[in-house]
Structure 1
Amino acid sequence: MAYMVPETIPRSATAGERILFESLKAHLPSDYIVYYEPEIRGRRPDFVLIGPDLGIVILEVKDYTKGTLYQINHDEWLLRNTSGALVKTKSPLKQARENAFILTDHLKKDKNLLQEGGTNLKFPYGFGTVFTRLKQEDFIKHNLYQVIESAFVLCRDEIDPDEEGFYPDIVLEKIRGMFTVWPPKRNVLTHEDIQAIRFHLFPEVRISAEFKTPTQHQDQLLLSLHNIKTMDLHQENLAKQLGDKHRLIRGVAGSGKTLVLASRAKMLAKTQPDWKILVLCYGIPLSRSLKQMIVRMMNEPEDLLDLLQPASSVNETESQIEVYNFHEWLRNSLRMKEADIPDLLEKAGRSEAILPTYDAIMIDEGQDFEADWLKLLGYCLNPDTQSLLLVEDRAQTIFKRKKSLAQDIGLDFRGRSKVLSINYRNTAQIVQFAWDFYQKHSQLKHTVQEGSIEGIEIIPPQSTKRKGPEPIIKSFGSLQEEMNFVSKSITFLHREKNIPLEDIAILYRVKNSFKTSYIDEIKDSLNNHQLPYTWITENAESKRNFVRDEHSIKISTIDSAKGLDFRAVFIVNVESMPFPLEEVEEREVSLFYIGMTRALEWLFLTYSGQSKFTAYLDDVAKMRSERQPSGAQLG
């Protein structure tokens, strides 16, 4: 069964397109990818097929009947439309051929996809036509095969299982015969090749937040594209399900939820240029990171080779996408505080309130939104579009959880819910370490379930195969010793592992106690080691001015780091967790889990005191020492 993008065909598709969609899905191999009406270089081919042993095939689909065809030749077709008038159009095969050439000419810009030492692609590509209302006997009777060779045609009785004489193997057999260009050496497309093809043809699947502008030399640019990053197919499908009313995405930490949301925002802005779009989250730093990510996506050229030319920036104020954290939106758009929401909801219920209207609303960190916040946003949503996207991970809940989305905002997400269970952010070691801790300490562990999303509270993560060092656990006799180790470790990672300072974060639970200023110790140690830093959570202004790519180590509370990630993360002063003044320990469990899953590659847990969490870490360190040492060593 082939992988379809989108996974279900839109309602606007013709009956014939639906038959072909289901036939391709059912009768092509599972490692084939089939795109329905993707936008590529300003064109919209009906179907694009990519397969490891196939290459690329473009299909043009027509629902012509015998009565439609008036006069045809190899180049132009004269057709009779529904009103009886004659209209001239390009030959369907010529349309498919032109689309294939536009697509493949673009791919030839990537030297990694070319034959060694040549200028042609290292894999075959072809094109063909599908006539969903004409059978093979029609083609024979009316001599249509003289205009389009049979090798480039699929007829109704070759794609429809309900037709007499249909047999399943014919679909793949005919598609494999639609090639006109064959490389001298038959190559099987690798996973990296297919990623590269998707990366070039579908800009919306690029993980733009991780894309760094390469040097201004074409050979180096092409070489840099060898290590490209794209969404996986499941993420891409979620992002491409546009305008289909309200949707809920639940995902584990690091599963790309924010990426899917940002990509969906970009695609909605592109396909619905008149729409007013609102993107909200809970934390200020994440709102700034989200805004920077969306702006990068909007500014990124369709053709990455355009990066060789000076970029023309898009004026953010001209974009129809507003990005805020919730309380900032309240202040800026409604000129009110959270305490005023209940009165406003009463007025809205009586249709007496004047509220802004948005055609699409997207919410990240949905698990932290209060019921009244969601009700208010429900009143601001255009009733004609009903385009609400709610993204959440209940394992990252740090506030009292609403009970029911249906009760809270009156929207039923059954059948409109998706799960992202694969953690792409962290290494397998970090995923397992963080999840082991969560399962050990969470009171919600009985709600951890596999399977359908309906009723799920917590989604167990699946890790990618990306490996890395084991999380490093270190205890010290004093906070000064602890911070000296942190600063030296940062220096090592920066100099020896080439990790940029902006990809390193220090996370803390509380900034001081009645005895000690933890934040002062952190800053003093970094200053002594001449390491530049930005204290993101110093005050409201520093949060609002947060720039992810600024060349400095980021210092933040754990809860303000939600939604962000860094190659190396240091969680210091772990003995302050669980925080004794926090009544609900479950919140502390979630916070520590959130902090650990901010780390892409390196995770350091340091402490110079004792607590319930450090006792757990001591036990882990003891078990490690009893085994053959396998943890990562610095130096």
Structure 2
Amino acid sequence: MAYMVPETIPRVATAGERMLFECLKNHLPSDYIVYYEPEIRGRRPDFVIIGPDLGLVVLEVKDYTGNTIYKINNDDWTLHKADGGMVTTKSPLKQARDNARLLVDQLKKDRNLLQENTSYLKFSYGYGTVFTRLKQEYFLKHNLYHVIEPQFVLCQDEIDSDEDGFSPEVLLEKIQGMFTVPNMRRYVLTNEDIQAIRFHLFPEVRISAEFTPPVRHQDQLLLSLHNIKTMDLHQENMAKQLGDKHRLIRGVAGSGKTLVLASRARLLAKAHPEWKILVLCYGIALSKSLKQMIEKMMNEPEDLFEMMNTLDSTSESKLEVYNFHEWLTQHLRMKDTEIPALLEKAGQKEAVFPMYDAILIDEGQDFEPDWLKLLSYCLNPNTQSLLLVEDRAQSIFKRKASLAQDIGLDFRGRSKILTINYRNTAQIVQFAWNFFQSHSPLQNKVQSGTIEGVEIIPPQSTKRRGPEPIIQRFRNIQEEMNFVSKSINFLNREKKIPYSDMAILYRVKNSHRISYIDEIKSSLAKHELPYTWVTENEKSKRSFLREDNKVKISTIDSAKGLDFRVVFIISVENMPFPLEERVEREVSLLYIGMTRALEWLFVTYSGDSIFTQYLDQVAGQKQPTKPREKELG
């Protein structure tokens, strides 16, 4: 999945540009950057692609149909206009070429990007055209390839993944071939080279938190919290102690925040069966799991003395559980990009909102300020029953405003802190927190005590102990995955841990050098280990099953809310991800990954980064408890 700038395509984009945007995003390597309509010296190329093994490619996109084209040659194209007239314009390939030369002239000003003692760039650059509504068959039938050579053209059936002949491999091959002078020994851009290119061409995205847009991570997943069932009573008591009106709960990873929210939802539904209650979170699968959890709680007795008097199921119709975007689509018929305009209307009292007597938000740290502001308009002012649950140490976004500014509600004196981590062993809690404190730019905000002003809460662990986290460096990804597969075999055979309780988490799916996901799958298959790639696509996320007795493969960010007895975080050298401008997000991601492990945590790598340097130091200070070496080879 390529790194897109901007992260989502603007609404004004054409249908063809949207198709290409999604295609490039989903099918180019993870270390490729794709810019949509960047402004460069007064011009706006449609797409600019930068890749370590690619160099730089500029794409010109046209949504022409067969009826649009009247007469063409190498220089000019005459087209039919919508009003019936004609217009003559520069050839799309020439447009792409001129934009590419503009970029190159700008980059040549930096001597560090030039070949030694020459005026030529040390990396390749190219350009091409994309016809989003014309297929290759049309180009062949009408001899269009005589005007634009095939190597400089992408047609609809080459970028539309719904087409039978679509191939990600062919797409990448075509883009890598859009050069007037093929370079058999192509220079591979270093991270410093890429940063220099970005600095010169795109000042608006220079490395600065000030210019970095919030990064929405993929759908979050939630597993059953069966491992802390013993804490149900404690968490439900916490829910009952919250009192009425708006409340904030901040808790550490593994503290059972979701159980508090579910218990609170059940309590409100039981106490106020006439209330309309809304439960929201960010991820699709998380919302489904939350709904199942709440429904199960509502059908269970509050205590042993009311076994025969459980909550009547008819009240379930008053309780809605959604992920935020699903709720936004179904109830307001809009996208999140339209929220600012709606809020402006709301300020002028020109908008109508669905009304809820209670709103409960899980993983609130991932909700943008405008989302919270919108929800404040949907909250019954007479009840003001809002519950916001969050852990800032797991935050992927950067909230700039305070909650009082976001929602208009002051949480001082109306908050609870959950500091005890019930999920992880003491060893894992300490290991993860030491890492977070050592690397997070927000470490000066780590406090304890009262809730006011607290951004990040240091965790306390239970007395449950286990093996030390296993830190292991390898020469390459093949050796790394061989160790992981043998460890899975050992833990399943000797420790009787089912495959369903093991997960392999990765940061990057592939790069121009390595397909990490292929290496993972190949090694597991070689050792005859059952597995499911949870984050393969949208369908796999929606059909995720916790108890299918298969090893789970997932990105780290999609594992938020998940927990397993055994977690392998592989290829940590890919963190901090070079294209991620905020180290804070990368620190939070690895912290999230570490705290998914209930008992066994393996952290492996075969390269270098500031994170692996830290891990090397930690590994040199202590000898972790490992499975028997003879069992792992």
1:279 aligns with 2:252: no
Q: Is the 8 A contact 1:427 1:464 kept in 2?
A: yes
Q: Look up the SS of the partner of 1:418 in the other structure.
A: strand
Q: Look up the SS of the partner of 1:262 in the other structure.
A: helix
1:473 aligns with 2:471: yes
In the other structure, the counterpart of 2:231 is 230
Shift of 1:364: 1.2
In the other structure, the counterpart of 2:299 is 299
In the other structure, the counterpart of 1:62 is none
Could you tell me how far apart the structure 2 residues matched to 1:209 and 1:297 are?
13
Deviation digits for residues 67-110 of structure 1, max 9, x if unmatched?
xxxxxxxxxxxxxxxxxxxxxxxxxxxxxxxxxxxxxxxxxxxx
Shift of 1:509: 0.9
Q: Look up the SS of the partner of 1:229 in the other structure.
A: helix
In the other structure, the counterpart of 1:441 is 439
Could you tell me how far apart the structure 1 residues matched to 2:494 and 2:409 are?
52
Query: Within 5 Å, which residues of 2 pair with 1:184-263?
Result: 209-211=224-226, 229-231=230-232, 233=234, 235-241=235-241, 244-263=244-263
Structure with more contact order per residue of length (Cα contacts < 8 Å, sep ≥ 6) = 2
1:524 aligns with 2:522: yes
Q: Look up the SS of the partner of 1:375 in the other structure.
A: helix
Aligned mate of 1:354, from 328, 342, 352: 352
In the other structure, the counterpart of 1:371 is 369
Q: Look up the SS of the partner of 2:622 in the other structure.
A: helix
Shift of 1:610: 1.4
Amino acid at match of 2:501: D
Could you tell me how far apart the structure 2 residues matched to 1:483 and 1:211 are?
29
In the other structure, the counterpart of 1:39 is none
In the other structure, the counterpart of 1:336 is 334
Q: Is the 8 A contact 1:279 1:362 kept in 2?
A: yes
Could you tell me how far apart the structure 2 residues matched to 1:445 and 1:374 are?
26
Could you tell me how far apart the structure 2 residues matched to 1:472 and 1:257 are?
28
Could you tell me how far apart the structure 1 residues matched to 2:317 and 2:255 are?
27
In the other structure, the counterpart of 1:591 is 589
Shift of 1:462: 0.7
In the other structure, the counterpart of 2:264 is 264
Q: Look up the SS of the partner of 1:465 in the other structure.
A: coil
Query: Within 5 Å, which residues of 2 pair with 1:310-459?
Result: 318-459=316-457
Change in 2 beyond 3 A, CA 1:480/1:316 = farther
Amino acid at match of 1:266: R
Query: Within 5 Å, which residues of 2 pair with 1:2-151?
Result: none
Could you tell me how far apart the structure 1 residues matched to 2:486 and 2:415 are?
46
CA RMSD of aligned residues (A): 2.7
Shift of 1:487: 1.7
Q: Look up the SS of the partner of 2:472 in the other structure.
A: strand
Could you tell me how far apart the structure 2 residues matched to 1:338 and 1:400 are?
17
Change in 2 beyond 3 A, CA 1:291/1:495 = farther
Amino acid at match of 1:395: A
In the other structure, the counterpart of 1:102 is none
Shift of 1:242: 5.8
Could you tell me how far apart the structure 2 residues matched to 1:557 and 1:622 are?
28
Q: Look up the SS of the partner of 1:603 in the other structure.
A: strand
Farther-moved stretch of structure 1 (239-248 vs 340-349): 239-248
Q: Look up the SS of the partner of 2:598 in the other structure.
A: strand
Change in 2 beyond 3 A, CA 1:305/1:598 = farther
Deviation digits for residues 477-501 of structure 1, max 9, x if unmatched?
1212211221221222222212222
Farther-moved stretch of structure 1 (247-256 vs 346-355): 346-355
Deviation digits for residues 94-151 of structure 1, max 9, x if unmatched?
xxxxxxxxxxxxxxxxxxxxxxxxxxxxxxxxxxxxxxxxxxxxxxxxxxxxxxxxxx
Amino acid at match of 2:609: S
Amino acid at match of 1:254: G
Could you tell me how far apart the structure 2 residues matched to 1:243 and 1:313 are?
21
Could you tell me how far apart the structure 2 residues matched to 1:420 and 1:516 are?
41
Shift of 1:211: 4.8
Q: Is the 8 A contact 1:396 1:591 kept in 2?
A: yes
Q: Given the two structures, how large is their TM-score scaled by the length of structure 2?
A: 0.60
Change in 2 beyond 3 A, CA 1:292/1:451 = same
Q: Is the 8 A contact 2:501 2:565 kept in 1?
A: yes
Q: Is the 8 A contact 2:490 2:627 kept in 1?
A: no
Could you tell me how far apart the structure 2 residues matched to 1:527 and 1:603 are?
22
Could you tell me how far apart the structure 1 residues matched to 2:377 and 2:538 are?
28
Could you tell me how far apart the structure 2 residues matched to 1:358 and 1:461 are?
34
Q: Look up the SS of the partner of 2:345 in the other structure.
A: helix
Q: How many residues align?
A: 407
Shift of 1:294: 2.0
In the other structure, the counterpart of 2:35 is none
In the other structure, the counterpart of 2:480 is 482
Could you tell me how far apart the structure 2 residues matched to 1:501 and 1:342 are?
46
Amino acid at match of 2:522: D
Q: Look up the SS of the partner of 1:543 in the other structure.
A: helix
Deviation digits for residues 141-197 of structure 1, max 9, x if unmatched?
xxxxxxxxxxxxxxxxxxxxxxxxxxxxxxxxxxxxxxxxxxxxxxxxxxxxxxxxx
Q: Is the 8 A contact 1:578 1:588 kept in 2?
A: yes
Could you tell me how far apart the structure 1 residues matched to 2:376 and 2:229 are?
38
Deviation digits for residues 513-543 of structure 1, max 9, x if unmatched?
1122111221222222232222222222322
Change in 2 beyond 3 A, CA 1:624/1:297 = same
Q: Is the 8 A contact 2:244 2:385 kept in 1?
A: yes
Could you tell me how far apart the structure 2 residues matched to 1:313 and 1:487 are?
47
Could you tell me how far apart the structure 1 residues matched to 2:415 and 2:306 are?
37
Farther-moved stretch of structure 1 (256-265 vs 316-325): 316-325
In the other structure, the counterpart of 2:53 is none
Q: Is the 8 A contact 1:442 1:586 kept in 2?
A: yes
Change in 2 beyond 3 A, CA 1:288/1:497 = farther
Change in 2 beyond 3 A, CA 1:230/1:472 = same
Shift of 1:328: 2.1
Deviation digits for residues 216-251 of structure 1, max 9, x if unmatched?
xxxxxxxxxxx9713464x34321136600000011
Q: Is the 8 A contact 1:243 1:385 kept in 2?
A: no
In the other structure, the counterpart of 1:491 is 489
Could you tell me how far apart the structure 2 residues matched to 1:279 and 1:579 are?
33
Q: Look up the SS of the partner of 1:230 in the other structure.
A: helix
Structure 2, unaligned stretches of length 5 or more? 1-222
Could you tell me how far apart the structure 1 residues matched to 2:514 and 2:554 are?
18
Q: Look up the SS of the partner of 1:530 in the other structure.
A: coil
Q: Is the 8 A contact 2:533 2:553 kept in 1?
A: yes
Could you tell me how far apart the structure 2 residues matched to 1:229 and 1:457 are?
28
Structure 1, unaligned stretches of length 5 or more? 1-207, 213-226
Q: Given the two structures, how large is their TM-score scaled by the length of structure 1?
A: 0.60
Change in 2 beyond 3 A, CA 1:631/1:294 = same
Deviation digits for residues 252-300 of structure 1, max 9, x if unmatched?
1111111111111122122222222211122333333323322332334
Q: Percent identity?
A: 72
Change in 2 beyond 3 A, CA 1:478/1:211 = closer
Change in 2 beyond 3 A, CA 1:476/1:433 = same
Aligned mate of 1:582, from 556, 580, 583: 580
In the other structure, the counterpart of 1:624 is 622
Change in 2 beyond 3 A, CA 1:570/1:296 = farther
1:541 aligns with 2:539: yes
Change in 2 beyond 3 A, CA 1:539/1:228 = closer
Shift of 1:317: 10
Could you tell me how far apart the structure 2 residues matched to 1:372 and 1:210 are?
30
